[in-house]
Amino acid sequence: MAFVELIECYLTETPKLVQDMSAAITTQDTQTIWKTAHQLKSSSASVGAIALAQLCKVLEAQGCSSKLENSLELISQLYQEYEQVKTALQKELVKEVP
């Protein structure tokens, strides 16, 4: 059941990170954008959410260099991407737990 626990952990942690990111973009808090994107990048890549990890990488780089570009568009993409990942993972979970 470890796989289930891992996915559940990811699905619990990630919405918080997405929320933090959204708030940080609103306040132009580049430090928080950088760190949150960095966290989300590695966990997303670990569950195979490559597109989401890519988005995070862009945000991480922008946050790190304090040069935000298209950040509102990026965050909306992030939301959409996460929704897709969530749906896909939940499907997997259903397979695991009959």
Partner 1 sequence: MKADAQESQSLVLIVDDEPFIRMILRHFLEREGYQIAEAQNGIEAIKVFKQLHPDIVLLDALMPDMDGFECCTQLQNFDCSKYTPVLMVTGLEDQESVDRAFEVGAMDYVTKPVHWAVLRQRVKRLIQQSQLQQKLEAVNVELQRLVTIDGLTQVANRRRFEEYFNQEWQRMKRDKNPLSLILCDVDFFKLYNDTYGHRVGDRCLQEIAKAIKDIIKRPGDLVARYGGEEFAMILPNTDTEGATHVADNICHAVRTLAIPHKNSQVSPYVTLSAGFTTEIPQPDSDLEEMISAADRALYQAKAAGRDRFVQNIQLPKNKNSC
Q: Does 41 bind partner 1 (CB under 8 A)?
A: yes
Q: How far apart are the first and last CA of the chain?
A: 12
The amino acid at residue 84 is Q
Of positions 20, 24, 30, 35, contacts partner 1 by CB under 8 A: 35
Q: Does 6 bind partner 1 (CB under 8 A)?
A: yes
Q: Which stretch binds partner 1 (CB under 8 A): 2-10, 21-29, 73-81, 88-96?
A: 2-10
Q: Where are the alpha helices (DSSP H) in 1-98?
A: 2-26, 30-46, 50-65, 71-96
> CB of residue 65 vs partner 1: minimum separation in angstroms?
12
